[in-house]
Structure 1
């Protein structure tokens, strides 16, 4: 009796064939779409990008608020050590002037003494020692020298850049989930092959036992079968561990309950022909473009530091009694601030920001070149998978015809049961190779769609 040595090679290849994969998201089953939605919602990286975009939008609103008037209500109480008054000479001068005015009013010559009993008003203090004030102040920027306007535009483009980065992260999360999901589908496909192989080895063990009893085989043949069965158990354990690991990975990516994930029945299906859809701009490129625009307006904002700024100031005192003789009850003013020279700080900051803009331009050019290369590579891989699928279709066709022929020969006593089981195993292996081919084809399609920026999920 002979053992199918190819079986061992098949298992070795099967273990290595599960390392990487992705699947096209153009024809996703509802279960996978739900997992992607949960994964996008759970992703901390996506949530961080969303928070950063919200922060940039708040910066935009802060820049706009520069043009809104700032109204401040103030109240204060102050007690001085003494009233603030005029010096003695000034007070004497004011009293003498008051006497002259009284004499003039009652018709007394200015050099005649003032009659006794005529009351004189004391000279009021410049500021009494108890001071209570409450007032309202209005500060209103009328023209910021274009600084606020450029800051608004810079924040707007920064928010857009972060939004596109979030969309790019969504693609990455979706690709990871699709990859794990398709790997799980390949594991389930392998389990069917393992089951068939297990039945094959049981049949082999039975016939070897009978052959030994009849003196047609040696115990070595039985040991070979036992070795193959032990190797099969190792592969079954390996695929069981792969299944557990993939379920754990999907759980971490999506937050879905492990019990529900274990109930999934993913299958690898052919997507059919891929249409030559036009390439659209990737979110990564859009993010770099918006970041470059943000740095452009940031540089303009820093350069506008030398443009005069105009603001209005208003003040109104609600309590007039405690005002000093020199304090106005209200006032309105218009002011201009013109920064003539700031030690070259604004110019150097603008140059630094301009260099940042050049950096984004270089990154965009590099990214576009890498995307163009990835599209060519993905198209070539897709063509290779299509050709490989055609080859495997022929292998399945040949395996089916061989199995049918051997089965007919067995019924006519022209072949042994081992020959039938061998051809049946070859047929199952060919069918699993088709699953691997579909696995690789879905990977190539997904890579192509993602490279072109048309991956939908």
Structure 2
């Protein structure tokens, strides 16, 4: 516990030194907290959520294809002239006939003036029979409802549901990828900070050796060249320490970007190695059912099958019920009916083989997606096998590195004692110091690679949400630079 507290305090100090002047102290952050932040605040997650909502609304919109369509329309028109029948050309013949009848003697002479008075207004009138005034307007409504479209509506509804599920799977894929990204940057920062610790110990150790070399040179126990060699290694160690601190700053900025948070973050969950994980077959089985990429390919196949049904519906008759009426009329002739209902049927007989070719193309699309699905299944299975074997390799490497670390520590102790007694050169001592630093760095790098690969393995298996649980397992060994 004391070691962990000491490491945490040292890491906080290192982070504050490596970063630009901070406005506020670094915030400690566990892996669980980092995952929760990423899956809540990262813009990619929010974009995926909007995509899912859009697909959900599209699916709801497809329900309306079964519903009646009700439209209310209004119109006003002013025509060039009234609509009607013009009988003015018949005036002259009628007038001639009337004159012949009156002059034939069939009508008593005393009645002729009275008859002429009655005929005169009729003959002087306009013989145009108006059926519709030139100015008219109406407000009415129309209702149409599909009865049978050859299965097109059903296919469209299923396609909308598939699109919604595809958006959900894409969201899962985005979140799983973000977990892997977070693990890489969270533990990448932890690695970089501990490498700074290692580099700092190298600087401190070489500085002590330099002080000893100066004292031994003054006493004539070592040559001047050996002190110069230690000074050279001292400058080299300080340069590597500065580079390590810059690396901390870079990875810290990347972690803030993943978390979508400002301010310095201090990871407190240690890198770890799990002594025993499930068998490879377990992850391959999980990938076959939970990998979001495979699920999306399967959904694309289902969507292609719905495309076949849509094209097949083009060969079927389409039946639609319809009706309409007017609510208000302005100067509309009474001859026009105020409402009407009916049923429409549309059957395509020939359209230049357009339907046949599109139907064939849709079936070819299904076959293509099926082949892609087979390939994707094999690719994911091979990927899981590759990641699993690499993971086991890093776990096995850790056992060998632990043995090398114990030897490097003892070897440095021996060389330091021999150097103080004048039995060993400064170069041998510095090499022992650097060898220990190299083994410690390799140990940290191996743990980092293990955790990064574990995250990718769980992502491939569709189990990214279980990564934090692996870190809490009883056989999960935390890895620190000092092995304690």
Q: How does 1:363-442 map to 2 (within 5 A)?
A: 363-399=372-408, 430-442=439-451
Give the drift of 1:124: 6.3
Deviations 1:193-235 (A, max 9, x none): 1122112111211121112212222221121111101111221
Which residue pairs with 1:260 in the alignment?
264
Which residue pairs with 1:86 in the alignment?
85
Match of 1:307 among 316, 341, 358: 316
Q: How does 1:62-73 map to 2 (within 5 A)?
A: 62-73=61-72
In structure 1, the gaps of 5 or more residues are 1-28, 96-112
Distance 1:317 1:426, change over 3 A: closer
Query: Is the aligned partner of 1:159 residue 2:168?
Result: no
Which residue pairs with 1:217 in the alignment?
222
Distance 1:303 1:44, change over 3 A: farther
Q: For residues 144 and 378 of structure 2, what CA distance do their matches in structure 1 show?
A: 52
In structure 2, the gaps of 5 or more residues are 1-27, 95-111, 468-484
Q: For residues 41 and 441 of structure 2, what CA distance do their matches in structure 1 show?
A: 34
Distance 1:384 1:77, change over 3 A: closer
Which residue pairs with 1:356 in the alignment?
365
Match of 1:269 among 261, 266, 272: 272
Give the drift of 1:417: 12
Match of 2:153 among 145, 148, 151: 148
Give the drift of 1:431: 4.3
Give the alignment's Cα RMSD to 1 decimal: 3.7
Distance 1:53 1:91, change over 3 A: farther
Q: For residues 272 and 90 of structure 1, what CA distance do their matches in structure 2 show?
A: 111
TM-score, with structure 1 as normaliser: 0.77
Q: How does 1:3-402 map to 2 (within 5 A)?
A: 31-41=30-40, 43=42, 45-88=44-87, 125-257=130-262, 259-261=263-265, 263-265=266-268, 267-276=270-279, 277-278=282-283, 279-280=285-286, 281=289, 282-319=291-328, 322-399=331-408
Q: For residues 342 and 152 of structure 2, what CA distance do their matches in structure 1 show?
A: 22
Q: For residues 221 and 401 of structure 1, what CA distance do their matches in structure 2 show?
A: 23
Which residue pairs with 2:100 in the alignment?
none
Q: For residues 182 and 429 of structure 1, what CA distance do their matches in structure 2 show?
A: 19
Give the drift of 1:343: 2.0
Give the drift of 1:150: 0.6
Q: For residues 328 and 89 of structure 2, what CA distance do their matches in structure 1 show?
A: 28
Q: For residues 82 and 416 of structure 1, what CA distance do their matches in structure 2 show?
A: 121
Q: For residues 260 and 401 of structure 1, what CA distance do their matches in structure 2 show?
A: 37
Distance 1:133 1:447, change over 3 A: closer
The answer to whether the Cα contact below 8 Å between 2:146 and 2:320 also exists between their aligned partners in 1 is yes
- Which stretch shifts more, 144-153 or 268-277? 268-277
Distance 1:400 1:242, change over 3 A: closer
Distance 1:393 1:440, change over 3 A: same
Match of 2:463 among 448, 454, 457: 454
Distance 1:226 1:413, change over 3 A: closer
Distance 1:303 1:91, change over 3 A: farther
TM-score, with structure 2 as normaliser: 0.73
Give the drift of 1:63: 3.0
Distance 1:143 1:155, change over 3 A: same
Distance 1:232 1:428, change over 3 A: closer
The answer to whether the Cα contact below 8 Å between 2:52 and 2:168 also exists between their aligned partners in 1 is yes
Distance 1:400 1:454, change over 3 A: same
Distance 1:157 1:170, change over 3 A: same
Deviations 1:390-426 (A, max 9, x none): 112323444566678889x88x989889899987776
Deviations 1:267-309 (A, max 9, x none): 3223332123453121100001001111110121122012111
Q: For residues 348 and 56 of structure 1, what CA distance do their matches in structure 2 show?
A: 30
